[in-house]
Amino acid sequence: MAAQSLDQIVSFCKRRGFIFPGSEIYGGLQGTYDYGPLGVELKNNLKRAWWRHNVYERDDIEGIETSLLTNRYVLRYSGHEKGFSDPLVDNKTTKKRYRLDHLLKDQEPGVLDAIAAHLGIERPDDMDVFVDALLQDTSKAQAALLAAKVVDAQDGKPGDWTEPRQFNLMFKTQVGPVADDESFAYLRPETAQGMFVNFKNVVDSTNRKLPFGIAQTGKSFRNEITPRNFLFRVRELEQMEIEYFVRPGDDEAVHDAWIEDHIEWWVNVVGLKREKIQLFEHVKLAHYSKRTVDILYNFPTLGFDELEGIANRTDWDLGSHSRSQDTLPLSENTKARVMLNEHSVEKLTYFDQPNNQHIVPFVIEPAAGVDRGVLAALCEAYDEELLENGETRIVLRLPAVLAPIKVAVLPLKKNEPTIVETAKKIKKLLQSGGDMRTVYDDTAAIGKLYRRQDEAGTPFCITVDFDTIGRGRDGDTSMENTVTVRHRDSMLQERVAIDDLLHYIKSRIA
RNA sequence: GCGGGAGUAGCUCAGUGGUAGAGCGCUACCUUGCCAAGGUAGAUGUCGCGAGUUCGAAUCUCGUCUCCCGCUCCA
């Protein structure tokens, strides 16, 4: 039986050392989690599998790793400094909270005129401009909302509004020893911008031709208003992102291809069931997006929710980060909305040799959450199996490539020195390659050792017994130097020669 | 940020003013010829944190933090 609730997964993760609450002994820190000994292996394996699929097994992707601390101009021109913050206002009577722009959109024109009059300005057509005007002086804005009798849809009456407050979803941090208003940087809210600002560097250093992509995994930070639901919404998260650059006009077909490719990856590599995956077509689009499609997974408790978002970011980002934008062949939407860039020293364009012209590529962005991926993999793999003898076996049916521990070596009897020594020797042999986690355990009876490994998701247990050391029953030595390999999912066993073990295991965990 | 619920051993939870408990798990030894076997011994808690009331607080009050549910938010 699969996990029935997220709580079940949460306590399992803590008990077995996958995931712990962040800063726990000091009462925790909201929206942070730490990965334990098994968790870090699983997470690394997931990232490695992603990198392998998206970088190594393709011809058209380069990897990159950019800094988390980000120059504020990067996030100004990307639109985040402005668009990544929400002005919020509360109605003290109804206890409802609204985004200011959403609230204003629902008002009668007369109410908006009254607000403008109170501020002493003409009413702007553009809601963003209007909101900006209100945020210039929040106490004056509060007075304006009250004077204009802004209505709360909840009860249909003028609300008792608080001052509007700007809720910035980006973390700022001080850079350098002098704490003044200008010496700060942002912690990046997405890894994407690092790839955009390095577009020229990658093109120049690799001689890439369109279409090609840049891939990156790494931490991002979002000051979520309400971090919730375990790993699902956290303030420090890790992303696996690709910015795939194409000729304008090719973007729509490439977008569809990435969606298909990544659904397949979640199903075939991470092991998520196809029927637990859905697509969600965004109706309300981000400022940079022409079309965004989410890949959703059916999490316990949460239901279908986002695992990966695949956006067509058009030429927005490259255009935004370029100087002299008026000289570039930008798309109409970008041209109309892009902020004049007074700080960039580069034009992020691509010279199209065959047609002898500069173009600004369109970008398709598959952006997945590593932590959400780990959570989905755990939820999918978690199984409470009812055995024939009436007992329950918890087994984590992770694909071998994701399993934290690949193989456990166990002595059938720990009070038989030759068996113990042989088992430890085999453990050394298997770990010598250095590219997989192996364990030796003799602290319980063999059945319990198997069950422990089942919970950890270990696909193979190797048991050293009397046959291994040439002391089989009735003097049988025919199975000397062979061991039992016990399979996690089926609990079946087979006999394998020690000399063949390394190859046997490696060929089954790739 | 608002409303509701919760926080006691690693996990699940009992304990309503009077010496902190159970099950599972964990450790050591014995036993054990393959699926959470048995025996013996053992460790583990600022009862989330901080104040207050009280002779005495896990228990009552207030504050605070964290988690869960609902609102809100989710580029």
CA of A368 to C1' of B17 (A): 54
Residue among A486, A483, A425 nearest A453 (CA): A486
Residue closest to B31 C1′ by Cα: A415
Residue closest to B49, CA→C1'? A27
Q: Measure the CA–CA gap between A488 and A451, rounded to whole angstroms.
A: 9
**What are the tens digits of pLDDT across the range A201-256?**
999 999 999 999 999 999 999 888 778 889 999 999 999 999 999 999 999 999 99
Between A143 and A490, residue with greater pLDDT:
A490
Nucleotide nearest to A92 in CA–C1' terms: B2
Q: Are the beta carbons of A368 and A240 closer than 8 angstroms? A: yes
3-state SS of A124-151? Answer: CCCHHHHHHHHHCCHHHHHHHHHHCCCE
Spatial CA neighbour of A271 closest among A186, A194, A374, A367: A374
Q: Which nucleotide is nearest to A394 (CA to C1')?
A: B36
Nearest nucleotide to A29 (CA to C1') is B66
Question: Rounded to an integer, what distance in angstroms lies between the CA atom of residue A449 and that of residue A427?
Answer: 15
Rounded distance between C-alpha atoms, residue A196 and residue A333, angstroms: 19
CA of A28 to C1' of B49 (A): 11
pLDDT band at A95 (very low <50, low <70, confident <90, very high): low
- Give the per-residue pLDDT at A125: 76
Give per-residue pLDDT as tens, A304-351: 999 999 999 999 999 999 999 999 999 998 998 889 999 999 999 999
- How far: A191 CA to B18 C1' (Å)? 59
The pLDDT tens digits of the residues spanning A32-42 come to 999 999 999 99
Q: Closest residue to B64 by CA to C1' distance? A: A27
Q: Token pair of A22, please?
A: 């962040």
Chain B: bases < 7 Å from a protein Cβ: 1-3, 7, 10-12, 25-28, 30-38, 48-49, 65-69, 71-75
Q: Which residue is nearest to nucleotide B29 (CA to C1')?
A: A415
ipTM of the complex: 0.91
pTM: 0.91
Which nucleotide is nearest to A473 if distance is taken from CA to C1'? B33
Question: Which spans in A250-353 are helix H?
Answer: 251-268, 316-320, 332-337
What is the pLDDT at residue A447?
Answer: 92
Beta-carbon count within 10 A of A126 CB: 8
Scanning every strand, the nucleotide with its C1' closest to A486's CA turns out to be: B34
Q: Which nucleotide is nearest to A32 (CA to C1')?
A: B66
Q: In sequence order, what E strands does A169-226 have?
A: 172-174, 184-187, 212-221
User: Amino acid letter at A248?
Assistant: P
Give the pLDDT band (50/70/90) at residue A159. confident
Average pLDDT, chain A: 90
Distance A95 CA to B61 C1' (A): 27
Give the pLDDT band of residue A286 (cuts 50, 70, 90): confident
Query: Which protein residue's Cα is closest to nucleotide B72 at C1'?
Result: A97
The C1' atom of B62 and the CA atom of A27 lie apart, in whole Å, by 20
Count of C-beta atoms within a 10 Å radius of residue A42: 26
Q: Which of A20, A14, A16, A58 is nearest to A403 (CA)?
A: A16
Specify the pLDDT at position A280.
92
Residue A174 has pLDDT above 90, yes or no: no
% chain A with pLDDT above 70: 98
Q: Which residue type sits at A144?
A: A
The token pair at A497 is 């020669």
Q: Supply A462's token pair.
A: 């190797």
Q: What burial letters (b/e) apply to A404-427, b meaning 16+ CB within 10 Å?
A: bbbbbbbbbebebeebbebbeebb
